[in-house]
Amino acid sequence: MLTPAKGLTYDAVPHAHMVTTAEQVARAVLQNSPFVRCFRCLSAQVGMLEKDAREAAQVLIVRDQFFVDRRVCQVCGHTDEMLVSGKAP
């Protein structure tokens, strides 16, 4: 059985929350495709903090369902790394 490091505890709520957040972000990215939104605009679209959208993106990238690519945001025109559906080229 796994035990947490000294001073830490395991909590299922953040994991469950992250799965839900990742699903929200995934739906938004797929809905916007083929266009992309920067993390600030994407987080505003799904109604969460940018930090939470970035964390959800990490979950999706690890699952190998999405990747990050340098693009231009369809909303604000900012050029940066954006979450894109599919596998990295």
- Look up the CATH number of the domain holding residue 75: 1.10.10.10
In a domain, 67, yes or no: yes
For residue 35, the SS3 value is coil
For the residues 59-87, what does the mean pLDDT come to? 93
Which range of residues forms the domain containing residue 54? Answer: 15-85
Give pTM, 2 decimals: 0.76
Domain count, the chain: 1
For the residues 70-76, what does the mean pLDDT come to? 97
Query: For residues 45 and 25, what is the distance between their CA atoms, to the nearest angstrom?
Result: 9
Q: How confident is the model at residue 3 (pLDDT cuts 50, 70, 90)?
A: very low
pLDDT digits (tens, 9 = 90+) for 11-64: 444 555 555 899 999 999 999 999 999 999 999 999 999 999 999 999 999 988
